[in-house]
């Protein structure tokens, strides 16, 4: 909760990846609040009030996972909504003439996105979600101390640059809109 709130304000991409980790952490603890309290919450060096808020946050997420059928796999709707907002923002950036650097970064990333989508055996994801799937998968491999091939490292580096640019522009837009809604879409 504390980290999620901080990340949400500072970097939407880090927030989303963190929330996906939280979903997996909850699954790893059997969606059991007592196990989460013992294995996760107890490690926070916070006062009792904050600890209770953290527990409530995890309980809320567990209930959402149960209601939404994501106890085994998939993502919570709150996290899907972030992807939807980022995808909409991405499309607005592409449709604007004000962000040529973003568009250039996108076109540098597009071959990697196409390749990842072709290799994916699962349901096709949108471009932004494909990027996040790649970043999250890489994060999981690194946590397992597994080596990444040079082509994979190159792809992830480009995807990271692209998502970083998207996140930075998204943060700017949240502070003060940067997309003119009246601008003619090219």
Residue 48 scores a pLDDT above 70: yes
What local confidence, expressed as pLDDT, does residue 123 receive? 63
Residue 161 scores a pLDDT above 90: yes
- The Cα–Cα gap between 157 and 29 comes to 32
Q: Average pLDDT of 3-30? A: 89
pLDDT in tens, 65-97: 999 999 999 999 999 999 999 999 999 999 999
- The Cα–Cα gap between 139 and 75 comes to 17
Tell which wins on pLDDT, 141 or 125: 141
pTM: 0.90
Instruction: Say if CB 182 and CB 21 are below 8 A apart.
Output: no
Could you give the C-alpha distances from 131 to 86, 95, 106, 109, 177, in angstroms and in order? 11, 20, 11, 9, 24
**Residues written for the chain:** 186
What local confidence, expressed as pLDDT, does residue 55 receive? 96
pLDDT in tens, 90-138: 999 999 999 999 999 999 999 999 998 888 766 667 999 999 999 999 9
């Amino acid at each position: 909760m504390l980290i999620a709130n901080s990340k949400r304000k500072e970097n939407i991409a880090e927030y989303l990846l963190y929330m996906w980790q939280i979903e997996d952490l909850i699954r790893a603890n059997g969606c059991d609040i007592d196990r989460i309290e013992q294995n996760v919450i107890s490690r926070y060096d916070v006062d009792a009030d904050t600890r209770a808020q953290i527990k409530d946050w995890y309980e809320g997420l567990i209930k959402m996972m149960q209601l939404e059928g994501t106890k085994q796999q998939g993502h919570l709707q709150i996290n899907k909504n972030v992807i939807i907002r980022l995808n909409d923002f991405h499309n607005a950036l592409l449709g604007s003439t004000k962000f040529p650097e973003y568009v250039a970064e996108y076109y540098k990333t597009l071959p990697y996105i196409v390749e990842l989508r072709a290799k994916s055996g699962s349901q096709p994801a949108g471009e932004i979600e494909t990027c996040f799937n790649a970043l999250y998968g890489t994060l999981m491999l690194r946590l397992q101390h597994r080596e990444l091939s040079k082509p994979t490292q190159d792809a992830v580096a480009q995807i990271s640059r692209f998502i970083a640019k998207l996140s930075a522009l998204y943060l700017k837009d949240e502070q003060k809109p940067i997309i003119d809604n009246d601008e003619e879409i090219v």
